[in-house]
Structure 1
Amino acid sequence: MSRSRAATLRDIDEAALGLPEVTREPETGGRPVFKVRGKTFAFARDPRKDAFDPETGEPYDDVLAFSCTAEDKESMVSNPDSPWFTTPHWNGYNAVLLLERDLGRLTVDELREVVTDAWLAKAPKRLAQQLLGGS
């Protein structure tokens, strides 16, 4: 299986559930929330009025959120060609947003990196060090 193919929703599940101590709510189906030791690091967001289609004014119903560092957020959302975005509601939060419909703009490898970085942003330091091979 080529990991350079376009990413899908299933790839989020596989990437997240492949990391240590991750839980998914609900366990199958539905709009997932991924947690490490009770801390959310990635989730499918319910529609909100702050993230909307500029053409129709309708709230997006396919927003995904991923934790990140402030530096990564700035880098990810500053490129106008990037699928990543933020809204004023997310000012001050270290997280980026992505529309499910834009998942195909990422490769599996790119998505796996974002999911792993999101996990690292919320995982306890010792658990993160174990994943990274540190002591």
Structure 2
Amino acid sequence: MPVSPADARRLAAALPDVVDASSDRALNFQIDGKGFAWSWNERVHPKKPRVPRLDILAVRCPKDEKGPLQFANPEAFVQDPHYADYGAVVVRLDAIDEADLAELLAQGRESLLAAKRRPGGARTRRSPATR
């Protein structure tokens, strides 16, 4: 049975320390201000800003686990060049069941926590002035 954005919010909220920073336009799940799952943004019109999709979720994932996940359920995972070298998978909510999404969200949460435990903490974006 397909997962709705409301189901995704419920599943994420069930995880420890998760803050649901979602809006009516986009999903966003965080721990200590750092996201581990968020709405995928689609380029609808060339040269215009991307638009968040409530039915597609990007979830943090170790890079070495992306391939096996995508291979196991190719209908559920979107191949997006923007995420090719990034530690996240892009999943269609209508092509994944609740149990698999719950597991994926838990893994995304753990991936964020593991990054925060590494020396130097989780990667943060630098301001343009410090690049």
User: Is this a same-fold pair by TM over 0.5?
Assistant: yes
- Deviations 1:90-123, CA, capped at 9 Å, x for gaps: 1221101123xxx232211111001111111102
Q: In the alignment, what sits opposite 1:85? A: 78
Higher strand share: 2
Distance 2:71 2:100 in 1: 17
Which residue among 25, 29, 34 is the counterpart of 2:29?
Answer: 34
Q: How does 1:90-129 map to 2 (within 5 A)?
A: 90-99=83-92, 103-123=93-113, 124-125=116-117
Percent identical across equivalent pairs? 21
TM-score, normalization by structure 1: 0.67
Q: How does 1:7-46 map to 2 (within 5 A)?
A: 7-26=3-22, 29-46=24-41
Question: Unaligned regions of 5+ residues in structure 1, if any?
Answer: 50-58, 126-135
Aligned residues: 108
Q: Note closer, same or farther for the CA distance 1:7–1:78 as it changes in structure 2 (3 Å cut).
A: same
Contact 1:34 1:42 in 2 (8 A): yes
Question: Unaligned regions of 5+ residues in structure 2, if any?
Answer: 45-49, 118-131
Higher relative contact order (CA closer than 8 Å, sequence separation 6+): 1
Q: In the alignment, what sits opposite 2:60? A: 67
Distance 1:13 1:80 in 2: 22
TM-score, normalization by structure 2: 0.68
